[in-house]
Chains A and B, each alone.
Chain A
Amino acid sequence: MLLSPVIAAQPWSPDYTLHGFGTLGAVHSTQDDADFSGNLFQPNGAGKTRDISTSVDSKVGLQLDADFANDITVIAQVVSEYQYDGSYSPEVEWAFVQYHPLPELSLRAGRIVTAPFMESQTRLVSYSQTWVRLPNELYSLNPITHKQGFDARYQIPQGHLTHTVSASWGTTKENFANGANVKARDLWEFEYRLDIAATTFRLAYSNINFDLNSTELSALATGLSAFKDDPGSNGAAARDNIRLIRNRGGTYEIFAAGLQHQPNNWLLRSELAVVRTDDRTFISDTHAWYLTVGRRLGAFTPYLSVAQVKADRRDEAQLSTEGLSPEEAEQVNQLNQGVALTIDSFTFDQRSFGVGLRWDYAPGLALKLQFDHVESKDGARNIGRFVNPTGDFSAGNSANVISLSMDFVF
């Protein structure tokens, strides 16, 4: 397993290495009015749609590395997991050329990873993580996993410290289950990472310039445009709200800090992220964090985890009904409600408590059992990180989620 090639690569006849990873998982959720899903792109999951869902966590990935002489590597990774369209169609997760002009400098171009957070690069490789899945309160702040672009990374060993700096740029488009899509026109990422023995500190900044498209948002913007030429305050309010709702060229900045500390058999992992948006998007400023503590006892690792996502709701302009006919007033009320509901639904407020046990029962194989209590805050109208809600799902709802999974790598 994980053998590296023994014979040195020849120019233009590369050494190939095949690696694979995967997860077989089953999830049960006590919440009947919405689905617990593995990410925001999945159309459904456990709870409302199925009592026990295998689609939330199950996935399989294959990676082929082709090592050429002259420090050039071509890597392609194909992953099959439950997608926005309800299929498991394999998708090319990454495909890039990597060149090391110096051992400590790496340059890559092609379809590369999007890594706003500490574990983003191996988001799909559950084996490499303690939990069944990454804490989605934080990781769903940026659900985009790859982009077309390039990156550069420089690693500086200094005594017992290793500094790593990297920068990347790319562009991408992702589809959501309801027909909506997000197009990241410019996605910049910068990272500094410090490794000291079994401790890692990480600071990262992402800047995403994006368009968010959906038929609901377009319809709402069209409704508002009936008032945009009004010379009074309603015209200004309509124009402000159209800009929010149309989401053209919105800016989404993420500041993230992470710590991983594993002295002896203890394991501590924590991340904090703050999202800042501008007034070209209805998405509110948001912050999220998690803290996980675990302890290795032979092949077993019991762990505890707490996570939260919270947003400061963005203010919108209100159109006034003063002096309007009853029909127009009704229309204005509906538009005001539509805008408010759109903002509310992206004003996330959720926290969760988890307890789990990982069992490394053979090399390259891990079994995990995890219990999560997930709750969204009373009074908020968002659905947290759930998907596919019924009309009866309201904030203040909670779910108890039990997950069992088996991870493998080869």
Chain B
Amino acid sequence: MKLISCLAASVMLSQMVHSASAEVVVVVAADSPVNSLSKSHIANIFLGRNNYLDGRIRVTPVDQPEGSQARQEFYENVVNWNPASVKAHWSKMIFTGRGKPPRQVASDTAVKALVASSPGAIGYIDAASVDSSVKVLKLAQ
């Protein structure tokens, strides 16, 4: 019984985190030729399966810290992968030498700084942090 109530509590807790969350948007450099990407393309970029932002532009995905709300939101709503599955996916990629997880930076500000300065970079930030240095991508299904 204790185990069941513990499980129930953790499920409720994860749902509460959901309802309290803010909106996360996907951003590229303000002068990027790319205006919209499909969610599945973004997912493939962040899972290391697609190396291009669009056409011939080599992509550099940028992650926020593990456990951060932006990262949780992004992976659950855009990539549609559970964070634990993502972690397991990258441990497989690393220990087969097949790839490295996205570069990780500390905050929305750091994501913006990196994205604004590199043409192939793509990141995600809280909608409230958006400014003129970055462009919010339209998400196609």
Which residues does A use to contact B, with CB under 8 Å?
1-4, 6, 17, 19, 21, 61, 63, 65, 73, 75, 77, 94, 96, 98, 103-104, 106, 108, 113, 121-122, 124-125, 127-129, 155, 157, 159-160, 162, 195, 197-198, 262, 264-265, 296-301, 360, 363-364, 409
Nearest Cβ on chain A to B124's Cβ, whole angstroms? 17
Which residue on chain B has the smallest CB distance to residue A407? B91
**Size range of the interface on B?**
35 or more
| Interface presence of B104 (CB below 8 A) | yes
Q: How long is the Cα–Cα vector from A121 to B89 in the complex, in angstroms?
A: 12
Q: Are A96 and B97 in contact (CB under 8 A)?
A: yes
Q: Is the CB of A122 within 8 A of B80?
A: no
Shortest Cβ gap from B99 to chain A (Å): 10
- The 3 A-B residue pairs with the shortest CB-CB distance, nearest first, are A298-B10, A160-B40, A103-B51
Q: Do B84 and A360 touch (CB < 8 A)?
A: yes
Contacts of A19 in B (CB 8 A): 94-95
Check A297–B80 contact: CB distance below 8 A: no
Say yes or no: B7 contacts A297, CB within 8 Å.
yes
27 A-B interface contacts by CB (under 8 A) = A4-B100, A17-B100, A65-B97, A103-B52, A103-B58, A108-B97, A113-B96, A121-B98, A122-B92, A124-B95, A125-B95, A127-B88, A127-B91, A157-B49, A159-B40, A197-B43, A198-B81, A198-B85, A264-B80, A265-B82, A296-B82, A296-B84, A296-B85, A297-B7, A300-B10, A363-B67, A364-B87
Interface residues of B in 27-58 (CB under 8 A from A): 38, 40-41, 43-44, 49-52, 58
Q: How far is the CB of B79 from chain A (nearest CB, A)?
A: 9
- Whether B66 sits at the interface, judged by CB under 8 Å, is yes
- B90: chain A residues within 8 A (beta carbon): 2
Residues in A with CB closer than 8 Å to B138 are: none
B119 interface residue per 8 A CB criterion: no
Determine if B11 and A4 form an interchain contact, defined as CB atoms under 8 angstroms apart.
Answer: no
Of A4, A6, A77, A265, most B-chain CB atoms within 10 Å? A4
Query: Which positions 4-37 of chain B face chain A at CB distance < 8 Å?
Result: 7, 10-11, 13-14
A301 to B84, CA, bound (A): 10
Q: Of A63, A162, A195, A297, which contacts B10 at CB under 8 A?
A: A297
- Given A63-B94, A125-B91, A363-B66: A2 and B14 interface contact (C-beta under 8 Å): no
CA of A317 to CA of B13 in the docked complex: distance in angstroms?
67
Q: Is the CB of A128 within 8 A of B95?
A: yes
B24 CB to nearest A CB, Å: 19
Contact present for A122 and B95 (CB under 8 Å): yes
Q: How far is the CB of A64 from chain B (nearest CB, A)?
A: 11
Complex contacts, B7 vs chain A, CB 8 Å: 297-298, 300
For the complex, give the distance between the alpha carbons of A364 and B83 in Å. 11
**In the docked arrangement, what's the CA distance between A160 and B40, Å?**
5
